[in-house]
Amino acid sequence: MKLWQKDKDVNKEIEKFTVGKDREMDMFLAEFDVLGSLAHTQMLQSINLLTKDELTILHKELKNIYLEIQNGKFTIEEGVEDVHSQVELLLTKRLGEVGKKIHSGRSRNDQVLLDLKLYTRDAIHHTVQNSKNLFDLLIQQSDKYKNHLLPGYTHLQIAMPSSFGLWFGAYAESLVDDMQMMLAAYKIANKNPLGSAAGYGSSFPLNRQMTTDLLGFESLNYNVVYAQMGRGKTERNVASALASLASTLAKMSMDVCLYMNQNFGFISFPEELTTGSSIMPHKKNPDVFELIRAKCNKIQALPNEIALMTNNLPSGYHRDLQIIKENFIPAFEEINSCINIMHFALGQIKIKDKILEDDKYKYLFTVEVVNQMVLDGMPFRDAYKKVGKLVEDNEFKAPDQINHTHEGSIGNLMNAEIKKSMNGVLSGFQFEKVENAIEKLLK
């Protein structure tokens, strides 16, 4: 079944090529297609394109289909082009002629636009929840290990003292900025395109604000041409937010791989979290973090992939846009699996104590000595040269203590403020508005 088909059959090779992976990708969109139809049909009844009785039976069956999707009993049949066709086919088979009425006032173009926006909105919600769980763990570990010092590096050379409190806290604050980008992407996704039809509106007196409210959108895409132009642009903006989050995870994974290395030896994990070698019995490999690093580096390519699919397209719909789903939709499962496995692993990390007592790290403290000389009245440049000479003559002695007290330093992590920043960003999503709207729609 094809919603656009008249009395001619399409060549089988053409059909196979043009449908591509749509059936597979549309299974991710199925529940959202039904939600869109629940809202759209309610709007159609309000402008007298459906009777109240027709709306009642349509809503009852749409909710049945929604439950089938939730329970894994929904499939897109062979020969059915996409999820929109499958839902309409089921309604027509089960209810007769009234099932054919649900397409009035919309096109497959604004249906898939709507489905993708609803899917993206929901997928962002899950990603934000998982990111918040990781954030909470990082803050917890930062507080727990705030007094455990480790070397800080520049150019991969030992530089100045750091701490695990700083290390965990740095990645927690990085997640705050990632969520800020995710919030901006969410706001772009959280606009209703339904009613734009094929991109030029409809002669029906559609009530687009009604479907906006029913689906819990923040607002609608007002201009119908721009609503269609948002296909690809929305995904690219969301992909940029996912790439930012992926960058944080990839960088932390690289740190973990370094710190586990025997030449560093700062951290370890229970043996059941590592893998071995087929010929070297001593190996405990950080495969989990290497895979996070690779998967997240792959996700960082996603915005560019989408841009290259769309950047030379004029306004209006083009079939090129279909291919974006194949790259975009799986990225959410990938990023969330990385977040969750990192959360699982970092919760079991083992931190080595008294790392800086090793004599090879004594030069980490040269700046401490310079600063103390400055506090005692010596000009900075003279103190710098004096300490440099002590290092050169192998006469430098590291101090017993360090005293960093300014905001964001070893002795003043500012974790409470970082948590406040994260909570401020998260409050902007207003997920509860969407949850309440969908719950009401499904009653």
pLDDT tens digit string along 353-409? 999 999 999 999 999 999 999 999 999 999 999 999 999 999 999 898 888 999 999
Please identify which residue in the block is written with the tokens 């689906």: 215
State the pLDDT at residue 18: 60
Instruction: Domains for the chain: give ranges and CATH numbers.
Output: 12-104 (1.10.275.10), 109-145+163-198+222-356 (1.20.200.10), 358-392 (no CATH)
State the pLDDT at residue 4: 42
- Global pTM reads 0.92
Rounded Cα distance between 339 and 185, Å, is 19
Q: Look at residues 411, 415, 364 and name the one whose alpha carbon lies nearest to residue 152.
A: 364
420: number of Cβ within 10 Å: 11
What lies within 8 Å, CB to CB, of 115 at 6+ separation is: 29, 32, 33, 36, 83
Residue 242 near residue 331 (C-beta atoms within 8 A): yes
CA distances from 299 to 17, 25, 243, 250, 336 (A): 26, 18, 6, 10, 11
State the pLDDT at residue 175: 98
| pLDDT averaged per 10 residues in sequence order, the chain, 443 residues | 54 66 87 98 98 98 97 92 93 96 94 97 98 98 97 94 97 98 98 96 97 98 96 96 98 97 93 72 82 97 96 90 94 98 97 94 93 94 96 91 91 97 98 97 94
Residue 196 near residue 439 (C-beta atoms within 8 A): no
State the pLDDT at residue 15: 64
Q: Which residues pair with 409 in a beta bridge?
A: 412
Q: E strand or H helix at 351, and its extent?
A: strand 350-351
